Structure formats: structure tokens, C-alpha cells
Structure 1
Amino acid sequence: MLNSLNKMQKALIALLCGLLLFFGFVILRTGVSRPASTVKLGKVAAGEYDPAVWGQYYPLQYASFQKNSEMAPSPGGFGGSLKTQNSERQPEILANFKGMPFSIDYTEDRGHVFTLEDLKETKRVNDKSPGACISCKTPYIEKLFQEKGWSYGKVPLRELLAQTPEHGYISCANCHDPATMDLRVIQPAFIEAQQRRGIDVTKATREEMRTYVCAQCHVEYHFEPGTSRVVFPWDKGLKPEQMYEMYATKPGGFAQDWQHPDSKAAMLKVQHPEFETWATGVHGQAGVSCADCHMPYMRQDGQKYTSHWMTSPLKHLDASCGTCHTQGAAWLEERVKTIQNHTWQLQHSAGLVVSKAHEAIKKAAAVPNVDQAELAQARELVRKAQWYWDFVAAENGMGFHNPDQALHTCGQAIDLGYKAIESANKAAGIELF
């Protein structure tokens, strides 16, 4: 029959067969038997902070968000969501944070749904704790800032906690506009810090916002003396040495978080600098967002959605890493674990050296006629050494967000720690260590 057809008819039949084969291949590759459905906007009212209400309109996202309540160890061996004391693995914490609340209670971070519960239960909170501590624990910060401005920071924390509903943990409204579902940031400290860097967050691209919504909380910060205003120390840059340089200027009168009772050094406490670490790492420089790895795209019943289970990429390597890396899950997992194990070894060593430096300075200070100028130098060195150690120890990626920087920073902490010991020995005129 085909022999009787003219050349044009044969060409049309060949084209049709080719198209059928092509679309069949696409269907097999995507595993989708019908077009992905469009998510319809829900009618969420402004000021609605209960995630269960949002979940009525966005069930797939909400179902994945509820997985944040699951507590389990990290598949990589570091982090995880079990409420364990970090000092059990790192006893140097007890020495290095002596004289301040982190030596009393420093538990592993849990999921977003536990932010208020953990804040209420931690032994680091007392009747004098400022309301500024609630800044990154609830979407109600939007309402608080609208009503009180920065004055909310001086309200007693326990008073604000008593006024915050149980559903007020970090959830949908922290990151989404209820009317449009567009990504947004509501942390005034983040907006102000970016403005000082010359960045207008209202002009950010969607891909930038897929990091900014995380960066508004996963950062280093301090409370401005007298006002408890939250400040991100980014004016000189995002690298640890640049932030330390800013702290050296005593911004807004901020000089220290506490004085170490042994070394008498004016100390700084680093707070989870994930954004800063990522920003100067290979993924940050390549434009890979936080959400790309920690909240990858998923499909269910023909619908593509973003997973709202903010967790380790090791739990879904194909979805989080496999979109760019084709070496396979086993290879990817091995690379992550190798980076984190190497970082841990240096971080732990750095913490131990810093603890010895505090002890050496204490012994030197007790020596009659100690060289006070050299002793002051030792205190500055241990302050800086601990800053570098803590920058890695407090960050939740155990080096993976920026492996080169993490190892280099640990190396600096070790070097500065030993220099602090040398200065203490010189000040005392004897070998203390």
C-alpha cells in the first residue's frame, strides 16, 4: 500500500510516527500521564498566621510542612532534629561558653514547628530576656513590628510568648504573601541590613527570594545595647573576618556578648550563620538557592509543588542534588559525609585549643607582675580564635555550605588559639602550656 503513495504522503506518515514516538518518550521520562495542574490561589486573609488555615488551600505543601514535626538523627551524622545537648559531643562548649547561658543549655536545633516550644523550654531564657529573642521564631513578628516598631525588642520575652498562640511557630506567613503567594521577607533586621549593603529586597528576583526567605533568620546577629534592636553585622561583608572587623568598631556601642570568667576576655557568640557561609561558597556563587537543596520540587498526582519539609538534602538526594549532579546518590552522599567529617575533625580540634587558651590566660593573670599589655594581647587573640571556631561550630551545615572557608576558618581558630597561649606564656614569663 505504501508503495502506491506519493513522496509527500510518505513524508507526512513518517513525521506523524516520529511525533508519536517523541511524545511517548516524554511521557515515559516524566512519569506524568497528564499535564501538571495549576495551583489555584487560596483566600487567605492578611494577618492569618495559622498554617492549618493555609493548608486548606495548599494541601500538598501543608502535608510536606507537617513532616517538620518528625524528630530523627541526621543521615549525615551531624545536626538532625533530636533535642540533644551539643556539649555531649563537644565538651569544649562548657569551657568556651563558661559564664553565659550556652554553657547551661545548648541543644540541637529542631524543626520550624518547634521554634516557640523550644524557646519557652530553654534554660537560656529568664525573666530578663528581651522580646527581641522572638524575632525569628514566629510570623507574628510582622504584627509586632507594625504595632510597636523596634520597641517590641525591649518587652520581656516571656510576656510576648504568653501573647503568641501555639500555632504561631515559623510557618507559611513568614515567607509568603497571603494574597498572592509571592515570596516575601518580614524580618526588619534583614531588610535594614540589605539596605546598608545597597540591596533593595523588594526588587529581588524570585530565585533570590528562594534564598532571602531563609536568610532573614539563618544568620549571625546581635542586639543593640539599650534598644535590643536586632542587627546583622554585614556592613563590611559576609565573611567571618569581615564581620569580626565590624564588631571591632563596636557598632551601636555593642562591644561583647559576655566576659569570659576565666580569661576575662570580651567574647562574642556567633548565631547560626548559614546565609553568610553559603553566600561565599560554590553553590551560593553559582546561584543555587537554599530552597533548591532544602525544599526541592516534587510531583504528586500530576502536580508539581515545592516540598515544605525543610530538612537535610541527604533525605532526598535525587530531588535536591540529582537535578544538577549526575554521579548518583551513593557518590553524592559520600562527598557530603567526607566534607562534614573533615570539617568536624578540625572544628573539634579548634574548640579544644581555644579552651586551653582560656585556661592559659587565667593562669597567666594570676602570676605576680604579669605583663598586662601582653595579657591584653592574649585576650584579643582568644576572642578572635573563639569567633572563628564558633563561626563553624554554630553554622548548621558542618562545612558543606562552604567547605574551603570552613576548613580555613577552623585553621585560623587553631592558629590564633596557639598564639593566645604563647602570649599568655610571654605575659607570665613562664611556660604555662
Structure 2
Amino acid sequence: MKYKTLLIGSLSAIVVMGLLVGNINARENERESLLKKPTEETGIPNKEKSDEWAKYYPREFDSWRRTKESETIEDMLEKNPALVVAWAGYAFSRDYNAPRGHYYAVQDNINTLRTGAPTDDKTGPQPTACWTCKSTDVPRLMEEEGELEFFTGKWARLGSEVVNPVGCSNCHDDKTAELKISVPYFDRGLQAAGMPTFAESTHQQKRSLVCAQCHVEYYFKKTEYIDKNNQPQTAMVVTLPWAKGTTVEEIEKYYDEINFVDFTHSISKTPMLKAQHPDFELFQIGIHGKKGVSCADCHMPYTQEGSVKYSDHRIASPLENIDKTCLNCHRDSEKNLMTIVGEKRERKDILQTIAFDNIAKAHLETGKALEAGASLDELKEVHTLIRHAQWRGDMAIAGHGSFFHAPEEVLKLLASANEEAQKARIKLVGILAKHGITNYIAPDFSTKQAAQNAIGLNLQPFIDEKLKFKETLEKEWKKQAIEKGRINAKAAEDIPDNATSYFKK
């Protein structure tokens, strides 16, 4: 019995020692893996391909790949039909979905009806600048061609070159993995606003600025230049409108002073502005921005895996990881925090509905006034009110998280938008009456289909053209990209082409 006990004890000790050795070996392998870095001389070859970074940063890469899980397509025009009327004459009235994960940045840009259906590398409608915030290939092309050259020509010119979605090299140096900006216009914007450049900023500030390369308001500045062949060219350069400041009112003043127009409304003939995705501008105004919280703190929380701590690159809503995001600072229950966010969203939705209902009706009533014989000069003040109303409303909602980033500012902007629209409608009562219209009622725009009918938009031709493009030129782009080694066949197949319902036969 004594020997049996000794034997069992010895075997147990051997098993424990084996487990300890295995654990030590595993940790050593993990340590060696973490120490594996690209060389300072060469960096990461083919850095545009994020899977090349996986060899050195496997956890960060795997979490980035999880942005593929954002498969749901949310049709914002179905949700807010008044936007269709607000954007009459502009491509956003055809198709506007909520943004998905970075994994889909290139494919969603190709699929949207807004980018049209080019037939070759010279047909439109969009300029090359529309690729800017969609791909790791963009900085490469700017380096190869030159910045002005990149911004020259039509979107389709680069269809076979822009193939890798937003990824590692957009925000990280391929030799050191340090944070970096990869587009030159961003530092110019910071300087114009009187802010520190990226290099002059603190590390915490950089954790927001790398996001702000794309998540900002911008416009395409028409820029004349002479190319390398001594030929005159016109570039549409992405430019941040921050010369007077970064608030909505300061940007509005900047655009008004340079008489910038994104599009002319097809019904009201108002010279309009279209907000892009001003997340950074609104975030700065909110309490989190003012307190020094960075974008990465909430959207890329640190994650512990064994002995390894790393930043989660599945950039998503902080509400999906409340224990790693909100609860790091807020001593509250998850349920209560979710309720607070829901209340903020509900308040924004109520004011958005009211504001854009008045904006849409102002456009339609202005169109009726024109139809009745009112002159553009007679409607000049109305046009200014509508322009400002829609700009402020659009800036409040174009950044989909702004209702939380800066809730008070968003409510202020929507209230101001509603007030400007109501002022326009009051003036229109007199103008319509002057031209014999006293009982005009705007057509129904309570659904997306009704709204598109109200502005005379027939989607079918755009859908048919897009489907033909996807069967022809897009397939040729993918073939060329694979032949050039810009993307491998497996990666091309791995990106699901789950576009909007328009494209499903």
C-alpha cells in the first residue's frame, strides 16, 4: 500500500511537472511570437494586404477580420424617407445605407447606386477621390502617381487597383507599427484649423486622429495643375473645410464664402451642401472628446488573451463590449447604460423626423413656387434658409454615432435645422399666394417609394445599368487585380458580394 501511494504521488508529480513545462513552453513560444517584428529596413512587403500583417500581429489581424461580421445592410432611405426628397437630384436619393465594417469598404463603394455604372476607365459619374477613404491601396497610389495625379480622372480609372479594404497600413507604419496618417490632406486640414499636426500631437490624440483621416467632413476642391507630360489637368482634391474652424457653423461660413455647392436640388433649385461623415468634428464637442477620451478607447478596447494584451481591431459599437468599454470608466449597470443610450437615440430620431419633414416640404413648396412663376431672385432668401437648414440637419445625422458622441450638439443642430426650414416655409406662404397658390399640399413622401415617386425618380434604369456593370467591368477589374498580384483569388472570393436587395435577381 505504501509503494502504491508513492507511485501515485510520483505519477501525479510527473503530470504536474509536464503541464508546467508545457505551459512554460507555450508562454515562451508566445513571447517569441510577440517579439517577431518586421525589419526596420524593409518593413512588411505588400503592406496594402492586411493578411501580410498577420504574420507579425495575428491577434490584431484576426480581430480586424471580424469586421466581416457586419453583414446586415440597413437602408437609411427606408428608415427616413424624407431624406429622398432632401437629396432630389443627387445620387444619395437613389441609395444610402448605414456604414458596415471596414472589411466591406471597397465592395460597398462598388455596389452602391451612387457610384453609377461605368463602362470603361474614363466614364463616370464619380471622380477618383471617391476611393480615398476606402482602401489601403490609396496611399500606395498617391505615392506612385503623385497626389494630384491620383485625384485626376474618373472613379473607374482605378477599379483594378483599389482592391484591398481599409486595413492595417492606413493607420500603422509597416516598419514599426507606430500610428501614422497615410493621406497628406489631413495634416493640411489640421494646420488650416490651427491645430497641432499629427507629428506634434500626443499619442492619445493620435488614437483619434488616425480615425479622423476618414471620419470627417470634406469636399472635392477643383485644382488645376500641369502634369508630368506638360499637359493641363484638373484634380478634384479631397480638402477639409476647416480654415475657419471645425464647428458646423464655422464650416457653413467657409462654404458660403467660397460659394461652394455640392449639388443643385432638382426641385427647389437650391444650391445645396452635402455632409459626409463628420464624426471627428462632432466627437470633439462632446463630453468624451473634451475629457480626452480617444476613438480607440471606446471602439477598439484593449483585450486580454492569456498573458497578452492587445487592441481589438473589430471596430464596432462600444455597446457590444460594454464590460471592456463603458464600464472601464462608468460605475453603472450594463442595463442602465443601454437605457441611457437608447434615450439619446430616441430624442435624436424624434427631432430628425420633425426637421427633415419641414426641410422636404420646403423643397417641394419652393418647387411649386417656381412652377407658378416665382423667380430665382425672388426665392434667394428661401434658398439660403433651406441650404442652411439641410446642412445643419445633415451634419447632425451623417455621423451615425453623433447622437451619442455629442448629444446636446446634435439636438441643437436639429432644432436649428427645423427653425430655418420653418422660416423658409413661412416665407413661401407669401410667395405662393403672390402667384395665386393658396391651397398647395406637398405630395406624400411617407415611404421610400412614395418619396422617390414624389421627386420623379425611377430607380430601375440605374439598377439595370449597375447589374450590367457588375457582370462586365467589375469582373474585369477583379481579373486584372489578381493578375497584377494586388489581391489573391482566395481573398477576392472571400469578400461576400451581399449588396442591397436591388441587385438580387
**TM-score normalised to structure 2 length:** 0.73
Deviations 1:301-323 (A, max 9, x none): 11111000100000001101111
- 1:429 is aligned, of 426, 433, 446, to 433
* Secondary structure of 2:328's aligned partner: coil
Task: Give the corresponding residue for 1:193.
Answer: 189
Q: Is 2:279 the partner of 1:274?
A: yes
- 1:157 is aligned, of 152, 155, 158, to 155
* Secondary structure of 2:303's aligned partner: strand
Q: How does 1:164-179 map to 2 (within 5 A)?
A: 164-165=162-163, 168-179=164-175
- 1:346 is aligned, of 335, 347, 351, to 351
| Contact 1:297/1:319 (<8 A) preserved | yes
Q: Is 2:139 the partner of 1:135?
A: no
Task: Give the corresponding residue for 2:412.
Answer: 408
Deviations 1:108-166 (A, max 9, x none): 2111011111111111113322111111111222122122222211232112121234x
Task: Give the corresponding residue for 1:40.
Answer: 35
Cα distance in 1, alignment partners of residues 67 and 319 from structure 2: 15
**Alpha carbons of 1:93 and 1:372: their partners in 2 closer, same or farther (altered >3 Å)?**
closer
| Contact 1:372/1:427 (<8 A) preserved | no
Cα distance in 2, alignment partners of residues 327 and 41 from structure 1: 40
Instruction: Structure 2 unaligned segments of length 5 or more: list them.
Output: 1-26, 117-122, 223-233, 442-505
Cα distance in 2, alignment partners of residues 242 and 46 from structure 1: 43
Task: Give the corresponding residue for 1:333.
Answer: 338
Once the two structures are overlaid, the 10-residue window that deviates more, 305-314 or 421-430, is: 421-430
- Deviation (angstroms), 1:365: 2.1
Look up the equivalent residue of 2:210 and give its one-letter code: V
**Alpha carbons of 1:47 and 1:279: their partners in 2 closer, same or farther (altered >3 Å)?**
farther
Q: How does 1:9-408 map to 2 (within 5 A)?
A: 39-43=34-38, 44-45=43-44, 48-71=47-70, 82-126=72-116, 127-128=123-124, 129-147=126-144, 148-165=146-163, 168-198=164-194, 199-225=196-222, 226-250=234-258, 255-368=260-373, 370=374, 373-408=377-412
Instruction: Structure 1 unaligned segments of length 5 or more: list them.
Output: 1-33, 73-81
* Secondary structure of 1:318's aligned partner: coil
- Deviation (angstroms), 1:329: 1.2
Task: Give the corresponding residue for 1:24.
Answer: none
- Deviation (angstroms), 1:372: 5.3
Cα distance in 1, alignment partners of residues 250 and 97 from structure 2: 28
Deviations 1:12-50 (A, max 9, x none): xxxxxxxxxxxxxxxxxxxxxx99969425214265111
Cα distance in 1, alignment partners of residues 154 and 371 from structure 2: 39
Cα distance in 2, alignment partners of residues 355 and 57 from structure 1: 52
- Deviation (angstroms), 1:425: 1.8
Cα distance in 1, alignment partners of residues 251 and 370 from structure 2: 29
Look up the equivalent residue of 2:250 and give its one-letter code: Q
Cα distance in 1, alignment partners of residues 376 and 193 from structure 2: 39
Look up the equivalent residue of 1:377 and give its one-letter code: E
Look up the equivalent residue of 2:44 and give its one-letter code: A
**TM-score normalised to structure 1 length:** 0.85
Cα distance in 2, alignment partners of residues 428 and 93 from structure 1: 24
Cα distance in 2, alignment partners of residues 60 and 265 from structure 1: 50
* Secondary structure of 1:271's aligned partner: coil
Deviations 1:189-236 (A, max 9, x none): 211101212322112211111001100000111101342000111111
Cα distance in 1, alignment partners of residues 36 and 67 from structure 2: 24
Cα distance in 1, alignment partners of residues 37 and 53 from structure 2: 8
Task: Give the corresponding residue for 2:479.
Answer: none
**Alpha carbons of 1:365 and 1:329: their partners in 2 closer, same or farther (altered >3 Å)?**
same
Cα distance in 1, alignment partners of residues 338 and 94 from structure 2: 34
* Secondary structure of 1:389's aligned partner: helix
Look up the equivalent residue of 1:195 and give its one-letter code: Q
* Secondary structure of 1:87's aligned partner: helix
Task: Give the corresponding residue for 1:27.
Answer: none
Q: Which has the higher contact order (CA 8 A, sep 6+)?
A: 2
| Contact 2:138/2:162 (<8 A) preserved | no
| Contact 1:346/1:410 (<8 A) preserved | yes
Task: Give the corresponding residue for 2:11.
Answer: none
Cα distance in 1, alignment partners of residues 387 and 91 from structure 2: 17
- Deviation (angstroms), 1:107: 1.6
* Secondary structure of 2:275's aligned partner: coil
Task: Give the corresponding residue for 2:423.
Answer: 419
Task: Give the corresponding residue for 1:20.
Answer: none
Task: Give the corresponding residue for 1:4.
Answer: none
Cα distance in 2, alignment partners of residues 284 and 382 from structure 1: 30
**Alpha carbons of 1:208 and 1:152: their partners in 2 closer, same or farther (altered >3 Å)?**
same
Cα distance in 2, alignment partners of residues 245 and 181 from structure 1: 39
| Contact 1:344/1:398 (<8 A) preserved | no
* Secondary structure of 1:184's aligned partner: coil
Deviations 1:87-125 (A, max 9, x none): 111111111111110011112211101111111111111
Q: Percent identity?
A: 31
Deviations 1:39-74 (A, max 9, x none): 4252142651111110121111111111100025xx
**Alpha carbons of 1:392 and 1:331: their partners in 2 closer, same or farther (altered >3 Å)?**
same
Cα distance in 2, alignment partners of residues 197 and 264 from structure 1: 32
CA RMSD of aligned residues (A): 1.9
- Deviation (angstroms), 1:398: 4.8
Cα distance in 1, alignment partners of residues 250 and 36 from structure 2: 43
Look up the equivalent residue of 1:348 and give its one-letter code: T
* Secondary structure of 1:83's aligned partner: coil
